Amino acid sequence: MKTKTASQPTTVQAKNISGAEAVIRCLLAEGVDLVYGYPGGAIMPIYDELYKFQDQLHHVLTRHEQGATHMAQGYARTSGKVGVAMATSGPGATNLVTGIADAQIDSTPMVCITGQVASHLLGSDAFQETDIIGISTSVTKWNYQITKVSEIPSILAKAFFIARSGRPGPVLIDITKDAQFDFFDFEYVPCTGIRSYQSDFPIAQDALSQAATLINAAKKPLIVWGQGVILGEAEAAFKTFVEKTGIPAAWTILGLSALETDHPLNMGMVGMHGNYAPNLLTNECDLLIAIGMRFDDRVTGSLDTYAKQAKIIHLEIDPAEVNKNVMVDVAVLGNCKDSLEQLLPHVQPLELTAWKARFHELNAIEEEKVIQKDLYPTKEGLTMGETLRVINEHSGGDAIIVTDVGQHQMVACRYAKFNQSKSNVTSGGLGTMGFALPAAIGAKMGAPKRQVIAIIGDGGYQMTIQELGTIFQQRLDVKIVVLNNEFLGMVRQWQQLFFDKRYASTEMINPDFIAIAKAYGIAAKCVDQREELSPAIATMLNTPGPYFLEVRVEKEDNVFPMIPSGASVSDIRLE
């Protein structure tokens, strides 16, 4: 069984220890050295053990339990390991739900541990009792309530195995207070398989050869890849596949950074605010090779007109994603690293000069109509696009970029330059505003040697702004850029385009962000002039420790290209 942790889980034994201590020993056996959480009544025995084990297991006190989940997600996304979040029962547990739902839809490996009232009180509406198992069922890959101390090792072993294997996802384990207090003889045996759960698939050779036949005969093939390439650690195999065949490749928002953005065959983003060429050519290609992606509606637009002319190959690890939204001609089930490696010897270099010229032709149109104006604006106000351009100039594409949700996210994903994988952390499927600030904290802790820049809108920033306290307390080197247009920009854009400019509750009267950052001991600056932008970003990146930069951008800019909701990818608008 392949696992994605740096260190393999180990078998551990200990005589007569408490359930709470057992939880900590399970985490250590899984190679966990970092947990995010918030204490409270029903999880106090575990926190007491965290105190005793603080040399081996670092607990990050967040300012809200939602922050703990997003931090665990950010950590998982940049480290490739399982993120761990902890909370008490009742409101502590319910505050985790948004992050769990986000991890579920974005396939992020995470284990959440919640305290629960003592088992004899279950169902009595005890203080801070809530049915977190019931509440979290539809947003977890698996969940389980432990009421007996003896269950702790086997259930936690299963939790980690499930979270990281197959299509990764969040697992919630609820532990009653009596199970934390009780004593037992502890033995931890890592989980290597569950009889009712298939996490890995041998690659079907007939599907593979059908795929190879289609690929070798294609005249106008297009690859669309997603996060499966990153989660499956398939980046090298993927790049070899792209380069050997010479097929142009485009990414979904979560696939971003798996192949460097400057790669000549990287044709940009598909979907609602993606690039002109890959969207339009989705409906011109003769073969669509979907790798580790799930045909989300933001990617496909109207399904009735999506790639109808093309044969479709789908490399996918989750059987439930095959033929869910788009019917495919060949499905290759399995980890896409395995599929790609086994496919490689069977595919040949293709002659695609004319087809690639189509991309360059359309790229030139987008460049002229959209990109130049975004990146090198001639109008007075600053744009989000030029801020990203300047960040690229200073970071050289080596930074991890963490984004929230909305206009700034689309602009950042369109323009940020990436040289290496696991560098783009964003809330894709759920679109969780408030994700970026805590996720950036986790991202930094998951990749401590790398520069982490959070790019956030003024709306989303204020949803989890209290996590500045966590940055302050943990002394974390996170750079925060708020692109402030004093609007909930994406909603405002829709109101302008589709609701006759009725700006219902999208204008924001914002606080003094600089004063807030400074109150948390974070160096801060605000810029609104073009000539200040580059020096300010240089100062931010060169200042040791956290830094907050507010960029006042044009208030009513829109993000283009755009495929209106429910329209065809062919109906992509440039203005």
Partner 1 sequence: MEKKLYTISIYTENNVGLVNRISAIFLKRHINIRSLTTSPSEIPEVFRFVIVVKMTLEGIQKIVKQIEKQVDVIKAFYHTDEETIYVESALYKITSTALFEERQIQNIIKESQAKMVTVSPEFFVIEKTGFREETEKLYNDLKPYGLLQFVRSGRISVTKAKMGISDILNTFNATKQDEKKS
Residue 51 has a CB neighbour count (10 Å cut-off) of 9
Residue showing tokens 């480290």: 79
Which of 94/257 has CB closer to partner 1? 94
How many whole angstroms separate alpha carbon 326 and alpha carbon 307?
Answer: 9
- Of residues 122, 113, 178, the one with CA closest to residue 150: 178
| Half-sphere exposure (Cβ direction) of 211: Cα atoms closer than 13 Å | 29
456 exposed, middle or buried (CB, 10 Å; 0-12, 13-18, 19+)? buried
How many whole angstroms separate alpha carbon 336 and alpha carbon 318?
Answer: 11
The amino acid at residue 532 is E
Residues 306/300, Cβ–Cβ less than 8 Å:
yes
Least CB distance to partner 1 at residue 329 (A): 17
3-state percent helix, strand, coil for the chain, nearest multiple of 5 = 40, 20, 40
| Half-sphere exposure (Cβ direction) of 154: Cα atoms closer than 13 Å | 8
Least CB distance to partner 1 at residue 158 (A): 8
- The continuous run of DSSP H or E covering 187 comes out as strand 183-188
Residues 81/33, Cβ–Cβ less than 8 Å:
no
Which of 323/466 has CB closer to partner 1? 323
Which of 216/325 has CB closer to partner 1? 325
Residue showing tokens 């708020």: 482
Q: Which residues bind partner 1 (CB under 8 A)?
A: 133-134, 137-138, 141-145, 162, 192-197, 318-320, 322-324
The amino acid at residue 69 is T
Least CB distance to partner 1 at residue 196 (A): 4
Least CB distance to partner 1 at residue 99 (A): 19
How many whole angstroms separate alpha carbon 403 and alpha carbon 433?
Answer: 9
- List active site positions: 65, 127-128, 177, 490
Least CB distance to partner 1 at residue 103 (A): 15
Residue 564 has a CB neighbour count (10 Å cut-off) of 15
Residue 448 has a CB neighbour count (10 Å cut-off) of 12
Which of 142/355 has CB closer to partner 1? 142
Which of 196/505 has CB closer to partner 1? 196
Which of 320/509 has CB closer to partner 1? 320
> In the beta sheet, which residues pair with residue 107?
none
Which of 5/323 has CB closer to partner 1? 323
First to last CA, the chain: 50
Least CB distance to partner 1 at residue 231 (A): 16
Residue showing tokens 């106000």: 381
Q: Which residues contact 74 (CB under 8 A, 6 or more apart)?
A: 83, 402, 425, 438, 439, 440, 441, 442, 443, 444, 445, 446
Which of 110/399 has CB closer to partner 1? 110
Least CB distance to partner 1 at residue 186 (A): 22
The amino acid at residue 269 is M
Least CB distance to partner 1 at residue 86 (A): 21
Q: Which residues contact 122 (CB under 8 A, 6 or more apart)?
A: 116, 129, 147, 176
Residues 149/119, Cβ–Cβ less than 8 Å:
no
Peptide bond into 511 cis (omega under 30): no
